Structure 1
Amino acid sequence: MLETAQLAQLYRTQIRECTALGADLSQFREDLRQLQLQLEAASRHIKAAADEIGAIGYSLESGPSENSEGTS
């Protein structure tokens, strides 16, 4: 009888631990999802900045535009 009670207590303890672990895993998945969204947003910003830098570089390489040559 004592062994059965001990096994029942162990079973209840394991259920609580598994439930807590499940909640931790759910939070971990949500944290990863949020991190993925943040990384995607950062990637878009970096790409936009790189595109802007590329456009500025192209503008500098091509020299002054025809419209700005005689306006001094």
Structure 2
Amino acid sequence: MEQKLKSIKNTAQNKTWVSFLNKNHPYTLLHWSIGGAQSVEKDVWLLQDEMTFEAQEFTTIDLAIEWISEHMDGITDVL
């Protein structure tokens, strides 16, 4: 599991996003620096459920990875 988390973090930092499967359920971790119709500036990492499009915001990638490690125990593929 530790290797999968490391791969998620490294890929996200290099590409600004990474997709992965947790128990065959797709998620994406991505950096959001500008968004919305008004070009709202943000500097957050989003963890998005690709089935429901619900997202959680994290102020740093380390907090996002920590949350993933505590709540997702079935990561199989890092895309």
**What is the TM-score when the length of structure 1 is the normalising length?**
0.19
**What is the TM-score when the length of structure 2 is the normalising length?**
0.18
Structure (1/2) with the larger helix percentage: 1
Bigger-Rg structure (1/2): 1
Q: Could you say which structure has the greater relative contact order, defined with CA pairs below 8 angstroms and 6 or more residues apart?
A: 2
Structure (1/2) with the larger strand percentage: 2
